[in-house]
Homo-oligomer: A and B are copies of this chain.
């Protein structure tokens, strides 16, 4: 018994075999290190990984226990749309549908957490081999966009942001919705069709950067390994 991965496996095995039941306190790092004949840091690495995966819950002083109701954690990759299209072996295309300056609707202001007044509104259509793949509806903080405004018909806003604007945090959510009139038209599907929607909001340390809603063509799947 040597590497942290072997130790992680052994600990997992004890949990799966109910040698360490759900909710139970397991021995401390020092004890396990001695039992396995490794340094405490190695045990720490193994247990930390399991905690990150949601299998264990660790607290200073309280010790480490097996999670009672294991909350599985899955890691999602959120690629740039162009990369996603190309990964499918299709040809990426981009069409700028609308670019204007105006005040965002109330729900968008609410999500951003503050009213920035006028913002840059961009609507684009991402194409995979000529077919509509994703419709993007985005509001951008004017202060992050230079004057003149970059050509968002050549480089998608997302890719431009990644390369030119630093940011700190954000959130993302997924839902199902019925395709809106113009969204359905852009994607070439019937209005009201069930579509997968991604909504993202990002902030720089001190101010909002952008809010975006991505409507994916029917059949879209987001998947990952558990």
Instruction: Report which A residues bind B (CB closer than 8 A).
Output: 13, 16-17, 22, 54, 69-80, 83, 159, 162-163, 166-167, 169-178, 193-197, 200, 202, 216, 218-226
CA distance A84 to B118 in the complex (A): 38
Q: Which B residues are CB-close (under 8 A) to A72?
A: 77-79
Given contacts A72-B77, A171-B223, A172-B226, 4 further A-B contacts (CB under 8 A): A73-B78, A173-B223, A175-B220, A176-B216
Question: Can you identify 28 A-B contacts, CB atoms within 8 angstroms?
Answer: A13-B166, A16-B166, A22-B163, A69-B159, A69-B162, A70-B162, A71-B78, A71-B79, A72-B77, A73-B75, A73-B77, A75-B75, A76-B76, A169-B225, A171-B224, A172-B225, A173-B222, A173-B223, A173-B224, A174-B223, A175-B220, A175-B221, A175-B222, A176-B218, A177-B194, A178-B194, A194-B194, A194-B195
Whole-angstrom distance from the CB of A19 to the nearest CB of chain B? 11
Is B73 a contact of A221 with CB atoms below 8 Å? no
Is B174 a contact of A222 with CB atoms below 8 Å? yes
Whole-angstrom distance from the CB of A204 to the nearest CB of chain B? 10
Is B177 a contact of A226 with CB atoms below 8 Å? no
Which one, B194, B219, B226, contacts A169 given CB within 8 A? B226
CA distance A65 to B32 in the complex (A): 37
Whole-angstrom distance from the CB of A70 to the nearest CB of chain B? 6
- A171-B225, A172-B224 in contact; A80/B74 too (CB < 8 A)? no
CA distance A49 to B197 in the complex (A): 29
CA distance A223 to B198 in the complex (A): 9
- A174-B196, A177-B194 in contact; A202/B226 too (CB < 8 A)? yes
